[in-house]
Amino acid sequence: MDNSSNFDENSDVGYQPSHSSVDQNDHSITETVGYSTFSGDSFAYCRTNSEVSNFSEPIDDNSFGSEHSPSLWTPVKHGASQAVLSRLGMKQPRNSMDDKSEDLDLLESELDMMRERFSKLLLGEDMSGGGKGVCTAVTISNSITNLYATVFGQNLKLEPLNPEKKAMWKREMNCLLSVCDYIVEFAPTAQYLEDGTIVEMMTSRPRSDIYINLPALQKLDTMLIEILDSFHDTEFWYADQGSLSGNSTRSRAGSFRRIVQRKDEKWWLPVPCVHPGGLSEKSTKHLSEKRDCANQIHKAAMAINSSVLAEMDIPETYMANLPKSGRTSLGDTIYRYMYSADKFSPDYLLDCLKISSEHEALELADKVESSMFTWRRKACLSHSKTSWNKVKDLMADTDRSDKNYTLAERAETLLFCLKQRYPELSQTSLDTCKIQYNRDVGKAILESYSRVLEGLAFNIVAWIEDVLHADKSTRK
């Protein structure tokens, strides 16, 4: 039979947009899974990092067809191709013959792009084809993170996103998120036969975590893009750090600008500038509203990310590398207080430690977390079961008067208070280990998507705060 017709029938795979696909959106350039440097209030937000992958390259005129895919797909008919790629948000053909020709050329380049992207996904980023690539879950996680860095990594201002990059973000995220349409779970459903007999059958439905979280993330994505788009005609502009002349594109002839000097840790960001009289009441209100909105989005994305990470299995390699002694890991000062205090107060302990930087907070979080699991493991040492999932089940049966159980419980409370006090804390070593060894594709998508949106929301809040600070300083 004609191979192309077979492809036409199968490539659409009876695709029905499930509850898991809508529109989407955004963080900073990264180095390794889950780690980055936190700055007091801006771009280097710490929770959007990933291992390097080649999934997304910066968009340019040749970005879709610069290389031919290594795959040997059978050529397909244009009509069927258009149905297959309808998720990509491509333009519909118009009546003009020239327009149709242009759209068909675009369609071919889009198909080449899809072949290239999915080839990289299937190869696990090992382009030698030797089977040494990472698993699919890690590949998709890296792809989303690196796509975010490609699209939003150079976006350092409150301004609408470049239309080409916005289209790139939507197009490629739709490709990646389409995987979720086929992640299902089976549930019993009553079926009524013609004779009135009720038969119970197993039917598939979207997996519950994806069904709940993915539409929420896509809504947050859309809202963040809309926030950026709302800053199209502003009363403020930007100048390069240290610029004192009127070279800014938004400068006005004969006006004097006060450029707010930035702290050293934010040297890479352009400086927001306002007129000597400051911003109007309307502009200030708009900035405040968008800041509050972005802040709520940040909290929602962080909550989803934390819940997804909590559901991931703890890798055996993490448990194997735990310190033998929680006291050695934490240090004598913290250990003595946790052990001897009749009424343990985590807030009092954190106040005494006088943490001065995000790096110190993250280092403490790693130590507390590893000590917590060390004490939990010791509390269950008398049992023959060694795997962490089994140890976790045994914790409920452990004698609560046991010293190790008490220390583990207090360490968990301390870690919770630490994360509440520093909500923008980088992901801990356990979090990054979970991401690295995770094999669940659905969880990988939800974790990476929520992480990059969390980062974009954080950046937007920081950029708005910078503008409001510049306005306040100008009025003094």
CA pseudo-torsion sign 71, 76, 80, 81: positive
* Whole-angstrom distance, CA of residue 299 vs CA of residue 220: 11
How far, CA to CA in Å, does 461 sit from each of 42, 298, 332, 381, 450?
Answer: 8, 9, 39, 47, 16
φ/ψ of residue 308, rounded to 5: -65, -45
- Structure token pair of residue 365: 């979080």
**3-state percent breakdown (helix, strand, coil) of the chain, nearest 5:** 55, 5, 40
Write down the pLDDT at residue 42: 38
Write down the pLDDT at residue 252: 35
Burial string for 307-330 (b: 16+ CB within 10 Å, else e) reads: ebbeebebbeebbeebeeebbebb
Write down the pLDDT at residue 47: 57
Superfamily of domain 313-437: PRONE domain, subdomain 2 (1.20.58.1310)
For the chain, the structural domain boundaries read 3-182, 313-437
The whole-number mean pLDDT for each consecutive block of 10 residues of the chain, a chain of 476 residues, reads: 44 39 40 37 44 39 38 39 39 56 78 79 80 87 94 91 92 92 91 88 92 97 97 88 43 36 64 88 94 96 94 93 89 88 87 90 94 89 53 52 85 91 88 95 97 95 92 83
Nearest to 170 by CA among 63, 23, 21: 23
Write down the pLDDT at residue 103: 77
Q: Which residues pair with 306 in a beta bridge?
A: none
Ramachandran category for residue 34: left, alpha or beta (phi over 0 → left; psi -120 to 50 → alpha): left
CB-CB contact of 64 with 113 (8 Å) = yes
Residue type, 334: I
- Structure token pair of residue 286: 């708009």
Q: Which residues pair with 206 in a beta bridge?
A: 184
* Whole-angstrom distance, CA of residue 182 vs CA of residue 166: 26
